[in-house]
A and B are shown apart, each in its own frame.
Chain A
Amino acid sequence: MTTNATALSAVIYKVSELAPDVREFTLIPGNDELFPLYSAGSHVVLSLPIGGRIHRNAYSLLGDPARRDHWRIAVRRQQSSRGGSAWLHDEARAGMYIDLSPPVNLFSLVRTARHHVLVAGGIGITPILSQARELARLGASFEVHYAFRGPANAVFLHDLKAIAPDRVHPHDSDRDGQLEFGPLLARQALGTHLYICGPQGMVDACMQAGARLGWPSKHLHSEQFIAPAGGEPFEVELKRSGKRFTVPRDLSLLETLELNQVDTPSLCRGGACGQCELEVLDATGALVHHDVYLSAEERASGRKIMPCVSRLDGGCLVLNH
């Protein structure tokens, strides 16, 4: 997939400190065009220039999906972060340009649901905000549960109450303890869908409560991000021509072959059609398969790779090509 062909350019328009470790960024288009529309629950992948390399971090769009003149994201500093969130807290300034992907939605509302329960924990409020906005616009039946640690961290409670008056249930975990999913899920009517974004422990507790109560797994949704394209750089050697290239971090193996004028038939560029399959003769690293074409046996054999989406996690790949 050519990740750069459709990359969007944005300018950081405004940075707001919402809490000691939470910053909100307002992004505006970096050229004369408006941003594309997006659906509630969508995220974008930011390309951040850190130490001469590009780091890719996914963030949910938290604003009004109908607005195309600006987008909003919020970033919590991850204590263990040496990458994206630290850069956004320490280096990012208004006026800077950044590249980002078009919106992708892997946390979409189910429009056939009879009732929607939105659950946010901490910074997990970001996709929930856009979903609440969308459900309010649609006139759908919904409720929002927003868990946070102390009032200082309830950074979007005011926005949420403005979007959905009388439907918001704040939950201060410092005062009230953990959100109890058993009673919350048990009282929902058939046909309800639940959407949760928060710390992993909270999501796990919710899913376990749902399973215990016999909720269909298809009615329990948690936020998913797309796996950022690219990966570790690696060497590729072509046995037939003796050519050798480096596949960089942000290009696919197929794109690298094409850039070097190595004729490689391809079609779907998404790991489904099988056209670009290449034979692996040797690999000093592990093959990272992202396709849906190869069977489990073919993957296990280590003899085949779909260069449009799959790569090596470093080292050298020798192809019969």
Chain B
Amino acid sequence: MAIAFKQETFRGEYTYANSDAAIRRFPFPFAQDSYMYSVNMEPHTKGPVGSVFENAFDIDEHYLGECEDRRITLARDPQRCQSLPHMIDAEWDVLELIMTSLARDYPENFTLLRDGSHWTWINRPLNIRQPFIFGDAATLPRQPFEYITRQTQGDFVIMDQRDNNLFADAGMVTSQADWSLSFDLGMSFMEWHAPVPLAHELGIFDRALKYLLMLQQGRPVRRLNWTMTINPRLDTAPETYPEWGTDRASVTPENAGDKVHLRVELQTLFRLPRSNAMLFGIRCYLASLAELATYPRWAARLHRVLGSLPNELQEYKGLTRYRPSALQWLSAHDDGRELALGTEPV
């Protein structure tokens, strides 16, 4: 089915909004009334048609807006995309994985022509036709990882595997939930997860790392992660904190429905063939409380999850200041009835 791409902004006037279809396919992450960290990874196999799990890399109605927002962020701060010199093979791995996946899954929008190492990439939504020689970065306008991730929704980190560990040695990070690529670049798995509360004590990261070290080609895995953001803003980076941090103080019980957004990350992990590195995709979905309340089950569920969230998680996710307003707004949608397990909208 053809995707109707929207023109919208994730800053300034914030014209971003979800269509009814986009709300319905929103990856609501709460299957029960409370939340705690777990190793919630599962095989990234093809999901139901129309769902965000249908394809390896999800392209939706926000594609043009997100690519433009990434362009603006990179123009202001080119350091949002970095790659250490030993990651060049992994960069080509990522370019090939994304191009072949998009061309296979969205043939109306993307085409990849291959004749030996002579490739032509056609991106119709962005009006790009790029011939290049695979393996020769000089034939592309940018380095391969930056080139293709400027044309893909979601942030990406490439992790190098060595010493029985994973190192964040390359990244394209412009839609992050308050973490910095410049700060984390080159860190090991435990180092860059160090700030996460409670999960270390639960052994979550030990198990996750062991699981990921054995990740095999052709068997990607995924998980959902979440936080909340005020206004539909992709670029909530520490580097730009003065531009968005104070928005947290602007939330009232009256405006919470439009201002407070649930931010869900579809995280995917792929073993890369040439480099034996690992691609970590962080695809961000934003929906306001009012949009979520299209489905009463979701609003009621979120009310209960937020209400029972441990203090450490409230603090870490930066919710403390506006949580009472969000809870008050959501309470009108929660009559206390029992909600069946599951994340479905109805």
Contact = CB atoms under 8 A, between A and B. Distances in A.
A6 B274 contact: no
Contacts of A110: 162-163
B41 A293 contact: no
Interface stretch (A143-151, A161-169, A204-212, A267-275): A267-275
Contacts of A273: 38-42, 207, 211
A135 to B, nearest CB: 12
* Range for the number of chain B residues in contact with chain A: 20 to 34
A37 interface: yes
A39 B42 contact: no
Interface stretch (B215-223, B297-305, B308-316): B215-223
B104 interface: no
Contacts of A94: none
B161 interface: yes
Interface string A105-120: 1001011100000000
Interface SS, A side: loop
Interface in A20-45: 36-39, 41-42
* Range for the number of chain A residues in contact with chain B: 20 to 34
Q: Could you say which of A1, A110, A112 has the most chain B C-beta atoms within 10 Å of its C-beta?
A: A112
B34 interface: no
B109 interface: no
B217 A274 contact: no
A151 B177 CA distance: 61
A10 B208 CA distance: 33
A218 interface: yes
B65 interface: no
A292 B42 contact: no
B218 A36 contact: yes
B275 interface: yes
A302 B247 CA distance: 54
A293 B207 contact: yes
Nearest to A8: B218
A108 B86 CA distance: 14
A112 B39 contact: no
A124 interface: no
A61 B214 CA distance: 18
A272 B269 CA distance: 15
B276 A39 contact: yes
A270 B214 contact: yes
B160 interface: yes
Given A65-B274, A292-B210, A267 B217 contact: no
A267 B40 contact: yes
Interface in B1-53: 38-43
Contacts of A267: 40-42
B273 interface: yes
Contacts of B275: 39, 111
Contact of A103 (B39, B160, B206, B217): B217
B218 A6 contact: yes
A15 interface: no
B119 to A, nearest CB: 15
B207 A272 contact: yes
Interface string B159-186: 0111100000000000000000000000
A218 B163 contact: yes
A155 B154 CA distance: 49
B40 A102 contact: no
A65 B208 CA distance: 29
Contacts of B276: 39, 41-42, 105, 108
B187 to A, nearest CB: 14
A218 B275 CA distance: 19
B42 A269 contact: yes
Q: Could you say which of A38, A108, A272 has the most chain B C-beta atoms within 10 Å of its C-beta?
A: A272
B39 A268 contact: yes
Nearest to B213: A106
A104 interface: yes
B273 A38 contact: yes
Contacts of A104: 216-217
Given A38-B273, A65-B274, A108-B161, A269 B218 contact: no
A42 B216 CA distance: 11
Contacts of A37: 273-274
Contacts of B39: 268, 272-274, 293
Interface string B201-212: 000001110110
Interface in A45-74: 65
A293 B216 CA distance: 19
Nearest to A68: B273
B273 A272 contact: no
Interface string A259-271: 0000000011111
Nearest to A5: B219
Contact of A36 (B43, B87, B217): B217
A111 B210 contact: no
A267 B42 CA distance: 5
A39 B274 contact: yes
Interface string A136-154: 0010000000000000000
A274 B36 CA distance: 14
A108 B274 CA distance: 11
Contact of B43 (A39, A111, A112, A269): A269
A220 to B, nearest CB: 12
13 contacts: A6-B216, A6-B219, A38-B273, A39-B275, A102-B217, A104-B216, A226-B214, A267-B41, A268-B41, A270-B221, A271-B211, A273-B38, A292-B207
Interface of B: 38-43, 86-87, 89, 160-163, 206-208, 210-211, 214, 216-219, 221, 273-276
Given A65-B274, A292-B207, 4 more contacts: A111-B86, A268-B42, A270-B41, A292-B211
